[in-house]
Amino acid sequence: MVLLKDLTLLNGVSGNEDAVRNYIKERAAASGAKISIDSIGNLIALKPGKKPKFKVMLSAHMDEVGFMVTGYGENGTLKFKNIGGIDERILPGKRVLVGSSAIPGVIGCKPIHMQERDERGNNIKLKSMYIDIGADKKEEAEKAAPPGDYIAFHSEFTEFGDGCVKAKALDDRVGCAIMLEMLSRQFEFDLYACFTVQEEIGLRGSEVAAYCVNPDIALVIEGTTCSDVPGVEKQEYSTILGKGAALAIMDRTAYYDRNLVRFIHEAAIKNNIKIQYKQTATGGNDAGKIQRSRSGVKVAALSVPCRYIHSPVSMMSKWDFDACRDIVGCVLGEFSENQGMIESIKQGGQANV
């Protein structure tokens, strides 16, 4: 978990992934991968195969949801906007880090004892919130945090309960950590590990990366929603914590290749690795752009279930993380032993495990 801890403690709000990219670059280069960074900021690590006939693309995004400074109050508070999808209800009282200097701040709002009766029954809107960095005057706040400064959640990596982890940015530092582990291995095919940018604001980086790589097959590794909590009916669960990695069939952005999905599921079962199907079709990920790149790419998405996603207290099971990592390694190993499987899936046929 050391690698994942390091990654989640880094701040990388969409459009400002520099710290995460620099960390990944150092470790990917140490694995012997050839590193390139494109114009939009994606880091593409190529691990050349021994006898490459195909190109397999792994994709995980480096960015996380967060905020940006947009203005100031006369009393030295910061006005801000969200970057990526965030539930406004969770924000009051949350700790944040502002700008490159990581200035500590707290998201505040009108105190409850000052609210009118009808206000207390309504959810507070982001436009009514502010960030308090301890400044007394507008000019002081402007100097400390210029307009456009990025703001990240402040959250420590914590292990607790029965193999559980709490952290920010599990979506998608879990994928980044798994891909870094895959780069330490050697395969027959060319492996392209694409650490993408700006997924949370429109899957932007993956569109550029997929066009550049032009892969034969792509596998997106994600942190996905886990809704097995009180108040949600069992039939509405997206995934269940502790039941293994989640394999998607379709979502809002992509319809995953059925043959590739079946192959991954059978490989997991054959190797006694816990796997579950994602039960909802909401949300989306980089596969939506990769699938439609150039003349089309066969894609699948394998995820780690995470409760309270897009918050500073996202939660996962270490066992689900291990399952996701093991399945990715198993699938790549199968492809390496028989590259004909890649050709079969690419041509629309089934490949037997």
State residue 114's pLDDT score. 60
State residue 115's pLDDT score. 65
Mean pLDDT of all residues in 219-235: 90
Domain boundaries, the chain: 2-64+168-346, 66-153
Mean pLDDT of all residues in 247-276: 95
Please tell me the class of the 2-64+168-346 domain: alpha beta
116 vs 36: which has the higher pLDDT: 36
Mean pLDDT of all residues in 304-315: 96
State residue 120's pLDDT score. 65
State residue 233's pLDDT score. 84
Question: How large a percentage of the chain has pLDDT more than 90?
Answer: 86
Q: Residues for the chain: how many in total?
A: 353
What is the fold of 66-153? Answer: Elongation Factor Tu (Ef-tu); domain 3 (2.40.30)
State residue 230's pLDDT score. 87
State residue 227's pLDDT score. 86
The yes-or-no verdict on residue 229 having pLDDT over 90 is no
Q: Is 199 designated active site?
A: yes
Q: What confidence tier does 236 reach under pLDDT thresholds 50, 70, 90?
A: confident
Question: How large a percentage of the chain has pLDDT more than 70?
Answer: 96
The yes-or-no verdict on residue 340 having pLDDT over 80 is yes
State residue 212's pLDDT score. 96
The yes-or-no verdict on residue 351 having pLDDT over 80 is no
Q: Which tokens is 180 given?
A: 């870094």
State residue 352's pLDDT score. 73
The yes-or-no verdict on residue 210 having pLDDT over 70 is yes
How high is the mean pLDDT of the chain? 94
91 with 126: CB under 8 angstroms? yes
Task: Flag the least confident range among 7-11, 48-52, 144-148.
Answer: 48-52
| Span 60-86, pLDDT tens digits | 999 999 999 999 999 999 999 999 999
Active-site residue (options: 199, 200, 207, 222): 199
The yes-or-no verdict on residue 121 having pLDDT over 90 is no
154 vs 125: which has the higher pLDDT: 154
For the entire predicted model, the pTM comes to: 0.94
The yes-or-no verdict on residue 348 having pLDDT over 90 is no
Mean pLDDT of all residues in 230-237: 85
State residue 353's pLDDT score. 62
Measured CA to CA, the distance from residue 280 to residue 249 in angstroms comes to 9
| Span 278-297, pLDDT tens digits | 998 888 999 999 999 999 99
Mean pLDDT of all residues in 208-217: 96
Mean pLDDT of all residues in 323-340: 96
